[in-house]
Amino acid sequence: MPAYDDLMAFQRTTEALAQVAGRTGWDQETMMPVGAAPQRAEEMAALEEVLHARRTDPRIGDWLEEAHAPDAAADANLRDIRRSYDRNHKVPARLASELARVTSLAQGQWATARASEDAASFAPVLAEVVRLRQEEGAALAAGTNRDAYDALMQDYEPGGNAADMAAMFDKMRPRLRALRERALGATPAPTVAGRFSAVQQIALSEEVAAAYGYDMMRGRLDTAVHPFSSGSGTDVRITTRVDENDPFNCLFSTVHEVGHASYEQGVDAAYLLTPIGRGVSMGVHESQSRSYENQMARSEAYCGWLFGRMRDVFGDIGVTSERDFYRAVNSVGSGYIRTEADEVNYNLHVMLRFDLERGLILGDLDVADLEGAWNDRFASDFGFAVDKPSNGFMQDVHWSVGLMGYFPTYSLGNLFAGCLMAAARRDVPGIDDALAQGDPSPATGWMRANLQRYGALREPTETIRHATGEDPSAEPLLAYLEAKFGDLYP
């Protein structure tokens, strides 16, 4: 099978360059001097040009025709390479390079404009990003029966489509709204208060990250405006953010990113720098971050341990019982910010973005009307008005970097997390006893053994099915939420 070997040698170099590109993005968010932004945009465009040329190299087509897969891993590698080759062949090099350049600039302009609540200065560059992504979506949809939005979604969730997402949302919406109404009508949860120094928060986050299995010998933790995980293989970095008035933001952001990073760190070392040596989709990725963040770290068992640990670290934190602490951690409120939303409201935030971004890509919504559309929809869905752009349509980095089609995978991840944790609790009876001791390893160990180590060996839905033994469905998540929040807001 020389064709397969030649293809994989070529691919390995491409994978290594993709890791460099990812880390250059990490650097941009964590280390880059502010004055370097225009030069960085040229650097990112240059990397994108090289990667695009490699991913569309005509030799790949020849190799793919001749290559035979000796085993299931090779078969999965060929499937992934073929998908990427077909995809990148549809996108002209000029467009790929332009997208890299514009999104790099737009990300910087988003950060600046967001800091000064300057929606007007962000709109032109966002319009340019949308225009380029529309063009890309149309190119990808050509010759398929997908529309431009579904075509874009394939990059994040192979096999996913807006109709399925809409059906999922239709099933979730009434039951989440009912939970929300119930919580908002009940006695408000207590809140923590105290002095939460940045240094102590970071130290606690590092301690918790290690307990959740994050390996600092193959990663590092820094701060950034928007928490994220970056890289695959032996260099998987995470970022978090710190609010000295709120100890939960840093801690749960960290555990969330540890979920993502553990997936990457957990993939079989034999898959290093191959197409299957990384998480299979954004939805499955988010199943890990949400399992870690919500189903483990926000569980009543783990909150019991965390209550004691936080009192050790910070002294008086304003609540005095494990139950009140658990209620504070899981307070259902009326916030503006998706990333700070509780488990009940979170998916409602995603539904809003899903509809708006689909409108942008399909041409039903102009960028000029985006802020108004967001604010109207938000008032209708959440019952109060957006007060400023950083609490509204400019809160997330995603659209500035062109990530339309990505948001719904967050909700899909929550759905998958529901399926996975139900299976883990079925298979491993001691999960909550260990969490009550501050030890998530029975749960994280189940994830590693049943999902993480396989990387992208199987397609997303099949990955969940293999781990759980069942077809994915929204029911486990909804049942979990109704049990948890029914107890919290009786």
Distance between CA 1 and CA 429 in Å, rounded? 46
Of the pair 20, 337, the CB lying nearest a second copy is at 20
14 closest CA partner among 342, 277, 380, 355: 277
Min dist CB 450 to a second copy, Å, is 24
Min dist CB 443 to a second copy, Å, is 24
Of the pair 31, 379, the CB lying nearest a second copy is at 31
Of the pair 223, 375, the CB lying nearest a second copy is at 223
286 annotated as a binding-site residue:
yes
Provide the CA 172 distance to its chain's centre, in angstroms: 19
Tell me which residue has tokens 């408000």: 188
The secondary structure of 158-218 as a DSSP string is TT--HHHHHHHHHHHHHHHHHHHHHHHTSPPPP---S---HHHHHHHHHHHHHHTT--GGG
Token duo for residue 269 = 């070392």
Task: Determine the Cα angle at 15 with ends 92 and 4, to 5°.
Answer: 90
Token duo for residue 16 = 């290594």
Of the pair 31, 167, the CB lying nearest a second copy is at 31
Q: How far is CA 391 from CA 64, 252, 338, 385, 388, in A?
A: 48, 20, 9, 10, 5
Residue 42 bears catalytic tag: no
Catalytic residue among 29, 48, 136, 257: 257
Min dist CB 46 to a second copy, Å, is 4
Token duo for residue 338 = 């998706």
Of the pair 220, 226, the CB lying nearest a second copy is at 220
Min dist CB 84 to a second copy, Å, is 17
Helix (H) or strand (E) holding 224: none
256 annotated as a binding-site residue:
yes
Q: What are phi and psi of 131, to 5 degrees?
A: -60, -45
Positions touching a second copy (CB under 8 A) are 12-14, 16-17, 19-20, 23-24, 27, 31-36, 38-40, 42-43, 45-47, 49-50, 215-220, 233-235, 237, 272-273
Work out whether strand 229-230 and strand 237-240 pair parallel, antiparallel, or are unpaired: antiparallel
Greatest CA span in the chain, whole angstroms?
68
Residue type, 312: D
Catalytic residue positions? Answer: 257
Query: Which residues are annotated as part of the binding site for Zn(2+)?
Result: 256, 260, 286
